[in-house]
Amino acid sequence: MIKSFSISSVLLSAAIVPAVGQDIAAGEAAFGKCAICHDVGEGAKNKIGPILNGLDGRKAGSVEGANYSAALKSSGITWNEETFKDFIKNPAAKVSGTLMFMMISDPKEANDLWAYVKQFGPDGKKKS
């Protein structure tokens, strides 16, 4: 028996299920490298870098009260999985003049880190 699926049901399923290979617990552990400069979750505060709550879909350089380089503010980046993983591979190569220096070049670690960060909405609460 052949089952048919509509494109919309396949796309909806893809939007709900995390990308294959993403491990939120491993991402939380990887976030330890980021926590020196960034914060997430309820009660998060800007540190050397901005809070990362609500990062998915946010324009780079847009968190009120955060310290950004002029380069990042004018980068035109809107954060999503692709732009995040591309940026953290080598921030200075992606945006010359950025203040961010930490690099995450391992694709698995970047996937896990994205899974962890994207779960926090703009209010710092974990999305359900």
Establish if 13 belongs to a structural domain.
Answer: no
Establish if 126 belongs to a structural domain.
Answer: no
pLDDT number for residue 27: 97
Establish if 19 belongs to a structural domain.
Answer: no
Q: Which residues contact 6 (CB under 8 A, 6 or more apart)?
A: none
Structural domain for 96, as ranges = 24-118
Establish if 14 belongs to a structural domain.
Answer: no
pLDDT tens, position by position, for the chain (128 residues)?
444 434 333 333 344 444 457 899 999 999 999 999 999 999 999 999 999 999 999 999 999 999 999 999 999 999 999 999 999 999 999 999 999 999 999 999 999 999 999 999 999 999 97
Note whether 119 and 24 are within 8 A (CB).
yes
pLDDT number for residue 20: 53
Establish if 16 belongs to a structural domain.
Answer: no
Tell me the CATH number at 80.
1.10.760.10
Quote the radius of gyration of the chain (alpha carbons, Å).
16
pLDDT number for residue 21: 74
pLDDT number for residue 11: 38
Establish if 102 belongs to a structural domain.
Answer: yes
pTM of the model: 0.80
What are the structure tokens assigned to 18, written together? Answer: 């995390």
Q: How far apart are CA 41 and CA 9, in angstroms?
A: 31
User: Nearest CA to 58 among 101, 122, 113?
Assistant: 122
Establish if 8 belongs to a structural domain.
Answer: no
Q: How far apart are CA 79 and CA 60, in angstroms?
A: 7
Q: How far apart are CA 27 and CA 68, in angstroms?
A: 24
Number of domains the chain contains: 1
Establish if 75 belongs to a structural domain.
Answer: yes
DSSP one-letter code for 127? P
